[in-house]
Amino acid sequence: MSGAVILDLSRILAGPYCTLLLHELGARVIKVEPPQGDDSRAYGPFQDGESLYFAAINRGKESIALDLKDDGDRAVFGRLAARADVIVENFRPGTMEKLGLGWDALHERFPRLIYAAASGFGHTGPDSAKPAYDMIVQGLGGIMSVTGHPGAPPARIGVSIGDLGAGIYTALGIAAALYHRERTGEATKVDVSMLDCQLSLMENPAMRYMATGSVPAPMGGRHATITPFAIFQAKDRPIIIAAGNDGLFRKLCTALGQPDWAQDPRFATNETRRALAAELATLVEGVLASHSADHWLQVMETAGVPAGPINTVADALAHPQVAPRNMVVQAGGVRMIGNPVKVWPHAANDDGQRTPAPALDGDRTRLLAEFGPV
């Protein structure tokens, strides 16, 4: 994305995560913040008075504070927009129109400017103008209803998948719109709704429901259709064993010291195993109870049976792929997660160092000089 200039009016998470992804792919991102700054500058944890929440999501960006209701600042905004490739915002729909800066107005003034909006419910439809928060969209989209243990109270997905999902899809829409503009000259409006993104992630349970009329329920630690492919308790903690076909089931039985199970006609096929999933889990856990998770993970690896731990965040960051893949980077001495989209040969130049997030309005003088007097 080198060469693309993104004017980023977005706040907090969905929009800033989108522009972080684009920045990691080479785009220049100029944050246009309100005079009081992006709200997330006040979100903890803090280090030396600076929000690390903000620092991680806004690294490498530039900042100028503009009051879009002030004529002088609006003129500055116009100078920036005239030379930007993309504007990104995640206001409630209608906000930019009230400022006279909606898609129609901007498209007329700047016909090459791509406009991208991430919102709760999208820029069309009867509930378009309603506010949304990550957790509420998680609830509306159904993901909470298929996660967790049957009969247990529902829980939030532990990351802001409502915001992050919208952020990734918006980044995809922007990259596609830039490609389209290069090929055709046409600038377009990318309109991403958090709810639509949740539904896209729910494509499988939604398809199953629409096909069968049966409402998908939480499955706990089990795969919906494959057995045994689930979380099982070892002596000290649970592990995941994924015996995805008959051959792997035979290997699993041998690894557990129970080769006779593989001959048992009740466990001959996935369908018969699935019908006896609870009984089979009891048998498997009866054997696993004799040794630790680490022991069994080693046994499974040797036997060629896919298996794995349920990592904490600390465990995850210690995975042997993390450092070689530069998945932890540093900006201003703060560690944060790196770029998940490796593009070779350019990824070879990643030294794991990043430019820190900007101070509020920290690039004003340079930006005014670069983009000219108003």
- Span 190-229, contacts to a copy of itself by CB under 8 A: 190-193, 195-212, 215-216, 218-223, 225, 229
Site string for a copy of itself, 16-55 (x = CB under 8 A): -x---xx--xx----------------xxx-x----xx--
Q: How far apart are CA 79 and CA 74, in angstroms?
A: 9
- Neighbouring CB atoms inside 10 A of 238's CB total 16
Q: How far apart are CA 23 and CA 21, in angstroms?
A: 5
**Interstrand relation of 334-337 and 86-89 (parallel, antiparallel or unpaired):** unpaired
Residue 185 interacts with a copy of itself (CB under 8 A)? Answer: no
State which of residues 10, 63, 188, 227 lies at the interface with a copy of itself (CB under 8 A).
Answer: 188
Helix (H, G, I), strand (E, B) or coil at 336: strand
Residue 302 interacts with a copy of itself (CB under 8 A)? Answer: no
User: Minimum distance from CB of 164 to a copy of itself (Å)?
Assistant: 6
| Structure token digits, residue 268 | 């001959």
Stretch of 90-98, 252-260, 276-284, 310-318 lying at the interface with a copy of itself (CB under 8 A): 310-318
User: Minimum distance from CB of 135 to a copy of itself (Å)?
Assistant: 6
Q: Report yes or no: 21 and 167 within 8 Å, Cβ to Cβ.
A: yes
Q: Which residue has the tokens 């009051």?
A: 67
State which of residues 48, 182, 260, 351 lies at the interface with a copy of itself (CB under 8 A).
Answer: 182
Site string for a copy of itself, 259-298 (x = CB under 8 A): ----------------------------------------
| Structure token digits, residue 232 | 């099982």
Is 309 or 361 the residue whose CB approaches a copy of itself more closely? 309
Contacting residues for 268 by C-beta, under 8 A, at least 6 apart = 246
Q: How far apart are CA 216 and CA 212, in angstroms?
A: 10
Residue 346 interacts with a copy of itself (CB under 8 A)? Answer: yes
b/e sequence 314-350, b meaning 16+ C-beta within 10 Å: eeeeeeeeeeeeebebebeebebebbeeeeeeeeeeb
Q: Report yes or no: 227 and 270 within 8 Å, Cβ to Cβ.
A: yes
53-72 residues near a copy of itself, rule: CB under 8 A: 53, 56-57
User: Minimum distance from CB of 369 to a copy of itself (Å)?
Assistant: 26
| Structure token digits, residue 226 | 């494959």
324-343 residues near a copy of itself, rule: CB under 8 A: 324-325, 327-328, 334-343
Residue 87 interacts with a copy of itself (CB under 8 A)? Answer: no
348-367 residues near a copy of itself, rule: CB under 8 A: none
State which of residues 77, 103, 267, 296 lies at the interface with a copy of itself (CB under 8 A).
Answer: 103
Q: Report yes or no: 292 and 238 within 8 Å, Cβ to Cβ.
A: no
Contacting residues for 235 by C-beta, under 8 A, at least 6 apart = 288, 289, 290, 291, 292, 293
Residue 3 interacts with a copy of itself (CB under 8 A)? Answer: yes
Residue 126 interacts with a copy of itself (CB under 8 A)? Answer: yes
Q: Which residue has the tokens 């901007």?
A: 106
Q: Report yes or no: 168 and 200 within 8 Å, Cβ to Cβ.
A: no
User: Minimum distance from CB of 277 to a copy of itself (Å)?
Assistant: 14
User: Minimum distance from CB of 290 to a copy of itself (Å)?
Assistant: 19
Q: How many residues bind a copy of itself (CB under 8 A)?
A: 144
Q: How far apart are CA 23 and CA 31, in angstroms?
A: 12
Peptide bond just before 340 cis, omega within 30 deg: no
Residue 88 interacts with a copy of itself (CB under 8 A)? Answer: no
Is 210 or 369 the residue whose CB approaches a copy of itself more closely? 210
136-175 residues near a copy of itself, rule: CB under 8 A: 136-137, 139-149, 152-161, 164, 168-173, 175
Residue 2 interacts with a copy of itself (CB under 8 A)? Answer: yes
User: Minimum distance from CB of 312 to a copy of itself (Å)?
Assistant: 5
Q: What are phi and psi of 307, to 5 degrees?
A: -155, 160
Residues assigned a catalytic role: 223
User: Minimum distance from CB of 373 to a copy of itself (Å)?
Assistant: 29
